[in-house]
């Protein structure tokens, strides 16, 4: 561990001494690069994020509307099927009309007449 600290101290001392030997042109360019890096690192205002936020909000709205439209479109198609299934389930689970359920021909006629009526 002491070798690492010793190496770091020697490297720091060597680099500090070499700073004094740099030409003014290189020193000026290093200062310009440092200033440019600090300028980029400055915190941005909230208004600078507006284009990205507006684009994201627009995309969310478009996707939400497309899902909603697609869901409503498919819901209309399945409504008839759901109603028919509910009617059949009510007929099958009803205890009141047990005698009617035993008469399969009547139930078949009833289902066919509902199909032609709807």
Domain segments of the chain as ranges: 1-42
The whole-number pLDDT of residue 39 equals: 84
Hey, CA dihedral for 42, 46, 47, 49, is it positive or negative? positive
Q: Alpha-carbon distance 86 to 54, whole Å?
A: 45
**What is the per-residue pLDDT across 42-100, written as a single tens digit (0 to 9) for each?**
777 767 778 888 898 899 988 888 877 766 555 555 666 777 777 777 766 766 656 65
The whole-number pLDDT of residue 33 equals: 92
**What is the per-residue pLDDT across 2-45, written as a single tens digit (0 to 9) for each?**
788 899 999 888 888 887 788 888 889 988 998 988 888 777 77
SS3 state at 17: helix
The whole-number pLDDT of residue 99 equals: 65
The whole-number pLDDT of residue 16 equals: 81
């Amino acid at each position: 561990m002491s070798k690492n600290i010793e190496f770091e101290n020697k490297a720091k001392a060597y680099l500090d001494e070499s700073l004094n030997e740099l030409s003014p042109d290189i020193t000026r360019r290093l200062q310009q690069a440092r200033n440019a890096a600090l300028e980029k690192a400055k915190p941005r205002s909230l208004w600078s994020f507006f284009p990205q936020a507006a684009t994201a909000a627009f995309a969310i709205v478009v996707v939400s509307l497309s899902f909603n439209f697609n869901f409503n479109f498919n819901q209309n198609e399945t409504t008839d099927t759901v109603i028919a299934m509910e009617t059949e389930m009510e007929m099958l689970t009803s205890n009141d009309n047990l005698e009617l359920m035993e008469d399969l021909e009547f139930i078949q006629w009833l289902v066919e007449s509902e199909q032609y009526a709807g």
